[in-house]
Amino acid sequence: MEKRVYNFSPGPAMLPLPALEEARRNLLALPGAGCSVLEISHRSKTFTEIIEQAEANLRKLLAIPDHYRVLFFQGGAQMQFAMVPLNYLRGSGKAADYILTGTWSKKAIQEAKTQGEVRVAFDGQSENYSRAPEAGELDLNPDAAYVYIASNETIQGVQFPVEPEVGDVPLMCDASSDILCRPTPVEKYGILYACAQKNLGPAGVTVVIIRDDLIERAPDDLPSMLSYKTFAEGKSLLNTPPTFAIYVVKLVTDWLLDEIGGLEKMQEINRRKAAMLCDLIDASGGFYEVHAQPGSRSLMNVAFRLADATLEDPFLKQAEARDLAALQGHRSVGGCRASIYNAMPVEGVEALCEFMQEFQDSHRG
């Protein structure tokens, strides 16, 4: 096998090796099917079992209540930026409350504004998007169409430690970069969605978990592919879904259930990984610095800087030479970022910490 590096990419990101191996083993022919998952009809019995199993795995992992549906969309997370306001803001006569904690919630706001009135219930800009809001800081409108958050800002490495309290207003959440990283009380959300290419599988599919009453409330005058109602009625199969991506979501969730042992265990591992890295940075005496404030630090993306920015380039090059890949920060903010999603093994973070300590030691006078 070609060598595999520790890949700290923010997405598409590292996948669990057992899931990749099973996909490879079965690529030419699925057991009993006589052909590849790439070659079968999305309406075949074999694929029906795959999509049902992917849903069942997600339901089990997240303890999704019966009054929620699990849908598989295309169009990525950004299509949901548009679909949420298209279905629940446009024509509602209300405004929507958005909690602005970083790049992705900002982008979601821009999209929502094309469909109706947006209120910003918290704006993290003055602190350079370095934390999630405290409960008392939210300026929420009890009559809002919905409240919107990005539970984890992938670029800034800022994660809500817990869900904000929003009363009876539906809470819509972009969980693209932290779904399945810890147990999540789905019943606190109206919609919880995530593109797959970080913690769920390959790019191409977006999982949407949506409460039944919201499906019923979606307007009747939308194109069927953009309506939660018609899409749910079609059981995610209005048209040809991304069959291979859904198959890999099944494999990744099998891995979480069978090899990791569920989300409590996954959370324990994720906490260990993030703490290892953040502790090293905090103990570096300012050589490295985490962007996010304590209390809002992400378990999944550790965005950090070197105090001496001229060292960033050699840092990244030497990391790469040690098979620690894709550590550069997002082009919009610079710096460095280690994305340590579920599939990043503890050994990968240990190797990164070892390198970072050595790099620091060799550049301290």
The one segment of 118-126, 172-180, 208-216, 346-354 that binds ligand PMP by CB under 6 A: 172-180
Q: Which amino acid is at 52?
A: E
- CB 175 to ligand PMP: min, Å: 8
- CB 247 to ligand PMP: min, Å: 18
Strands (E), the chain: 6-7, 68-73, 95-100, 117-123, 147-150, 152-153, 158-159, 171-174, 191-195, 206-211, 288-290, 301-306, 324-325, 336-339
| Burial (0-12, 13-18, 19+ Cβ within 10 Å), 308 | exposed
> Choosing from 97, 106, 174, 273, which is the catalytic residue?
174
- CB 220 to ligand PMP: min, Å: 27
177 touches ligand PMP by CB under 6 A = yes
Q: Which amino acid is at 346?
A: V
Residue whose structure tokens are 């191996």: 21
174 is catalytic: yes
245 touches ligand PMP by CB under 6 A = no
- CB 364 to ligand PMP: min, Å: 34
- CB 208 to ligand PMP: min, Å: 12
Q: Residue 1 in 3-state DSSP?
A: coil
Tell me which residue of 29, 7, 12 sits closest to 338, measured CA to CA. Answer: 7
Interacting residue with ligand PMP among 57, 154, 236, 360 (CB under 6 A): 154
The one segment of 20-28, 128-136, 173-181, 271-279 that binds ligand PMP by CB under 6 A: 173-181
Give the single-character DSSP code of 239: S
Does residue 263 contact residue 180 with C-beta atoms inside 8 Å?
Answer: yes
Tell me which residue of 276, 226, 248 sits closest to 14, measured CA to CA. Answer: 248
Q: Which is nearer to ligand PMP, 299 or 306 (CB)?
A: 299
How far is the C-alpha of 266 from the C-alpha of 183, rounded, in Å? 9
> Choosing from 198, 250, 255, 273, which is the catalytic residue?
198
Interacting residue with ligand PMP among 88, 104, 146, 228 (CB under 6 A): 104
348 touches ligand PMP by CB under 6 A = no
Tell me which residue of 192, 210, 202 sits closest to 246, measured CA to CA. Answer: 202
Length of the chain as a residue count = 365
Interacting residue with ligand PMP among 15, 99, 147, 150 (CB under 6 A): 150
Residues 49-88 binding ligand PMP (CB under 6 A) are 76-78
Give the residue numbers marked as catalytic.
Answer: 104, 174, 198
Site residues (vs ligand PMP, CB under 6 A): 11, 76-78, 104, 150, 154, 174, 176-177, 195
